[in-house]
Amino acid sequence: MGLCAMAKGTKKKPLPTSKRPSKNDGPAAKQFTASQLWSLLDSAMDAIICVNADQEIMIFNRAAEDIFGYSQKDVQGKSLDLLIPDRFRVLHREHIRSFAKTGTTLRHMGSLGEIVGLRADGSEFPIEASISQSKSFGIGCFVVILRDVTERKEMEAKILDSEIRYRRIVELSTEGILVTDSEGIILFTNSRFPQMLGYLEAELLGKSIFDLFDKDGLRSAAYLREQQLAGKGAQIDFKFIRKDGSILWTISNVSPIFEGEGNYTGSLGMVTDITARKAAEDGLRESEARNRALYESAGRRLAQTSALRTIDTAIANSLDLRFTLEVVVRQAIEQLGVDAADILLYNSESKALTYFIGQGFNTSGIKKAYLPLGKGHAGR
């Protein structure tokens, strides 16, 4: 509050400026200094209130009228208690008395706690004020200049509430959240990110993010940095190395932070643990490979069984050796995956293997095949 109190021991006398000059006032009341004073007081955007030694209100400018809802006439000569909630009145009187003893000329009020004003309608509101000692017109005064900070307090409360909600969201997030500077030094993490890596939060703050990567991670980090400097965000599967040396697979969403004139100052990262999903994917791939191998093996066995059944049918249903062996050659080519095959029969008279039947050869020279037993692989 803008308060002006007469110093102790000073004989009370009326101030020539205790009321505003009007056109009905005499010449003495229309002194230049008085008019100038009231003009200055009423042009001030802050409330200014002066009281005498008995804390009776002497001056109450227009801003004070607007803030408290009283007119100068309503409060003239009345106790300052009118403008102070009952629970603060004793403390406020003592504050002014102690200030008078210090001899200092100016002090910001509020050092003893909250400052609250009381309006004419009984509502209370927060105040920001400073108190000063002055002597005007031969009278010692205390002058407090104040302003209503209701809107600012409400805005601060909203900002604080928003900040609390934001921090709660960040801390309760199942994702790891971190902020790094332009060199990759970790400036902030929520509690989840250190937990994911097996670190304490204090161990990560100030640490280089690159210390958490292996060679593959460093290559991915180089790609991310290129994207960041180009002003682009990125989402990639990213591999971190935990404190115990194990691998942490993540989906990392990284966005660049720019300040001022487009200066890159760091990155914001949101990290989701997908280690279990990666393990499941690896297990699925291994299972698919095993199943594929089993299927292919089963298919080969089935084909072989079918080939043997075809040969067995040919043997059972035909007495023609050539026909039967033609079936054998065809099945051999199919099962072995070769282009050609032939069958050599043993000639007891020449004691050699000679060509009997074949398929797939581009030359007729094979038909002249003659392999005496004991030479090469014949007979072995």
* 147-156: pLDDT as tens digits: 899 888 888 8
128-137, 144-153, 279-288, 351-360: segment of lowest average pLDDT: 128-137
Residue-level pLDDT at 377: 52
pLDDT, residue 63, reads: 93
> Considering 248, 273, 298, which residue would you say is the last residue of a domain?
273
Confidence of residue 199 (pLDDT cuts 50, 70, 90): very high
Q: Using 50, 70 and 90 to split pLDDT, how confident is the model at 15? A: very low
Tell me the per-residue pLDDT of 231-262, one tens digit each, with 9 for 90 and over.
888 888 889 999 999 999 998 888 898 887 78
Give the β-pairing of 341-347 and 352-359.
antiparallel
**Mean residue pLDDT across the chain:** 79
- The residue among 116, 149, 182 that closes a domain is 149
Q: Are residues 87 and 52 in the same domain?
A: yes
Residue scoring higher pLDDT (354 or 186): 186
| 362 found inside a domain | yes
**Shared domain check, 242 and 292:** no
Average pLDDT over residues 60-85: 92
Provide the residue type at 8 as one letter: K
- Cβ atoms of 235 and 251 closer than 8 Å: yes
Q: How confident is residue 288, by pLDDT bands cut at 50, 70 and 90?
A: confident
CB 119, CB 68: distance < 8 Å: yes
CA distance 267 to 180: 5
pLDDT value, residue 34: 67
Q: Which of 242, 273, 304 is the last residue of a domain?
A: 273
Residue 64 has pLDDT above 90, yes or no: yes
Q: Is 120 exposed, middle or buried (0-12, 13-18, 19+ CB in 10 A)?
A: middle
Residue 347 belongs to a domain: yes
In this structure, are 257 and 192 located in the same domain? yes
Using the predicted structure, report yes or no on whether residue 162 has a pLDDT greater than 70: yes
Model confidence at 125, pLDDT cuts 50, 70, 90, reads very high
Q: What is the C-alpha separation between 299 and 304, in angstroms, rounded?
A: 8
> What is the DSSP-derived secondary structure letter of residue 18?
S
* Residue 11 in domain: no
Q: Are residues 118 and 42 in the same domain?
A: yes
Structure tokens at 279: 């393990």
Determine, yes or no, domain membership for 231. Answer: yes
Task: State how far the Cα of 380 lies from the Cα of 373, in Å rounded to an integer.
Answer: 8
Classify residue 305: in a domain, yes or no. Answer: yes
CATH number for 113: 3.30.450.20
Establish if 253 belongs to a structural domain: yes
Number of domains in the chain: 3
Please tell me whether residues 143 and 207 are part of one structural domain: no
- 175 has pLDDT over 50: yes
Instruction: Print the domain residue range for 82.
Output: 31-149
**256 with 326, same domain?**
no
Evaluate whether residue 19 is within a structural domain: no
Q: Quick check: is 158 in a domain?
A: no
